Amino acid sequence: MSILLQWFLSSTVRHALDLRKHVLNLAAAQRDLLPTEGISAIEAACAKLRTAVGAKADKKALLAEMTAVETVANQWLKPHPHASWRENVEVVLVAIGVAMAIRTFFLQPFKIPTGSMQPTLYGITHESFSEKPEVKFPSGIAAFVDSWFRGTTYYHVVCEEDGELRRADPPKTVFPLVKKQSFQVGERTYTVWFPPDQLFGGSVHRSGLYPGQRFRKGEDILKLKVISGDHLFVDRLAYNFRRPERGEIIVFETKGIRSLPQDQFYIKRMVALGDERVRIGDDRHLRINGQRLDASAPRFENVYHLTGPPSDSKFSGHVNELVAGLNAKSGLAPLFSDGRQEFHVRPNHYIVMGDNTMNSLDSRAWGDFAEGNVIGKSAFVYWPFLNQGDRAGRFGWSHR
């Protein structure tokens, strides 16, 4: 019976071989510190154990040889200081290495920052209730469930004394994953824990507060409901074996795309590949090389489910500049002025568009980009788990 077969059939053999390997590894690591006779004694004991395994010794004999190896190891090997700390650090470093490898080569977490892919995928939205004193925010268990399972967080700050908004600090990281943001009204400083993106300032400015704004004691300074965007995993493996297909939702880097902030990541639906000719008809349907896309095209079943005039956050097809202007959204599609304007995609480039066609900055404005910018494709929505008010839950692979 071979040693490999013994290893499978006997737990004693497995323990014996693991012990031998462990002791030899420690001896190799400490070779420069150990005397010659110590190294020789360890190697001799390990060789006897290996011979006993090869000779199919019984359990009692193997245990005796294992005890001999342990005795020699304890005699000559030097113990590591703070051994428990060392082992814990090793475990943590291995876990970090595995997580980084998974993130780099297989699945990368990504959160939807804007509403350009609604209603397929949702970005962060907010609603202020500072002028609605009758609205009561949930607390306790209800607030916990909303926050952790629905991604809905409530921020309520009441003025403690009369004063005006004097300053708002940028967010600060207190511990990993723990942030706070402070602002001052009068002589009082207020702190918001786990603040949403762009609570103060930025293009969104969710608080709606401005310097010099006055508040009276007992008045709501901040009464905000924030609904987090979808968090998903990006499949970074699939495109190593094939090219993206039309209609897939892809994540790409903005590097090299004119008029966009550099080194950021966007998510859109891929609609055209290299060397294709693209038009956006006045009927809100794409024409690829003269072929009209409709709801029968794979992955466009919802996009072209048109039920009325184009509107935000609903499936409304794709609008060109003419149609956008007729709906008070001029400037959305300068590269597609009307149904006759054609765009030729460069070789090895892609064109992408958002599903929220009336509120999406996409290839209609900045054209195509190189295939090397593609990071991967949308794979799995892992959070939030439950419905968010009128938003249907998208947890899983169901989004298309």
The answer to whether residue 290 sits within a structural domain is: yes
**Do 159 and 181 belong together in one domain?**
yes
Q: Which pLDDT score, from 0 to 100, does residue 278 have?
A: 98
pLDDT at 64: 92
Angstrom CA distances, 96 to 44, 83, 90, 234, 363, stand at 38, 20, 10, 19, 37
What's the whole-model pTM score? 0.74
Number of domains in the chain: 3
Could you tell me the pLDDT band of residue 303, with boundaries at 50, 70 and 90? very high
Query: What is the pLDDT of the chain when averaged over all its residues?
Result: 90
pLDDT single digits (tens) 8-37: 778 888 898 899 999 998 899 888 889 999
Tell me how far apart the alpha carbons of residues 368 and 275 are, in angstroms, rounded to a whole number: 11
- For 84-107, letters b (16+ CB in 10 Å) and e give eeeeeeeeeeeeeeeeeeeeeeeb
Residues 6+ apart with CB under 8 A from 375: 108, 234, 236, 250, 251, 252, 253, 265
How far is 381 from 245, CA to CA, in rounded Å? 20
> Could you tell me if 273 and 350 are in contact, meaning their C-beta atoms sit under 8 angstroms apart?
yes
The confidence score (pLDDT) of residue 323 equals: 96
Degrees (nearest 5) of the Cα angle 377, 383, 387?
115
The secondary structure element, H or E, covering residue 27 is helix 11-29
Q: Give the span between the Cα atoms of 370 and 284, in whole angstroms.
A: 26
CB 341 within 8 Å of CB 319: no
What are the tens digits of pLDDT across the range 56-89?
A: 888 898 899 999 999 998 998 887 666 667 677 7
Identify the weakest region by mean pLDDT among 57-66, 364-373, 379-388: 379-388
Residue 288 to residue 303: CA distance in whole angstroms? 16
pLDDT recorded at residue 83? 61
pLDDT of residue 398: 67
Q: Are both 260 and 363 inside the same structural domain? A: yes
* Domain end (from 198, 227, 256): 227
Query: Are residue 252 and residue 208 in the same domain, yes or no?
Result: no
**3-state class (DSSP) for residue 287:** strand
The better pLDDT of the pair 91, 381 is held by 381
Q: Are residues 184 and 296 in the same domain?
A: no
Assess if residue 105 is contained within a domain: no
pLDDT at 304: 94
Tell me if 378 is assigned to some domain.
yes
- Both 267 and 219 in one domain: the answer is no
CB-CB neighbours of 134 under 10 Å = 5
Reported as a pLDDT band with limits 50, 70 and 90, residue 105 is confident
Q: Residue range 118-140: average pLDDT? A: 91
pLDDT above 70 (res 390)? no
Q: Which of 31-45, 70-84, 175-189, 343-357 has the lowest mean pLDDT?
A: 70-84
DSSP string, 340-387: T-EEEPPTTEEEEE-SSGGG--SHHHH--EEGGGEEEEEEEEEE--S-
Cβ(199)–Cβ(221) below 8 Å:
no
* Residue recorded with tokens 């011979």: 51
- First-residue to last-residue Cα distance in the chain: 55
CA-wise closest residue to 248 among 102, 101, 399, 49: 399
E-assigned strands of the chain? 107-111, 125-128, 152-158, 163-168, 172-175, 178-185, 188-193, 214-215, 220-227, 231-235, 249-253, 265-272, 277-280, 286-288, 291-292, 342-344, 349-353, 369-370, 374-383
Q: In the prediction, which pLDDT does 99 show?
A: 74
Is 223 a domain residue?
yes
> Does the pLDDT of residue 301 top 70, yes or no?
yes
Q: How far apart are CA 358 and CA 329, in angstroms?
A: 7
Q: What is the pLDDT of residue 287?
A: 97
Q: Could you identify the residue written with the tokens 């600090």?
A: 169
Among 192, 227, 262, which residue terminates a domain? 227
Residue 271 domain boundaries: 232-383
Domain closes at, from 212, 227, 242: 227
DSSP 396: B
Same domain, yes or no: 240 and 346: yes
Strand partners of residue 279: 287, 342
Confidence at residue 394, expressed as pLDDT on a 0 to 100 scale: 79
- Residues 156 and 269 occupy one common structural domain: no
Q: Which two tokens stand for residue 313?
A: 């956050």
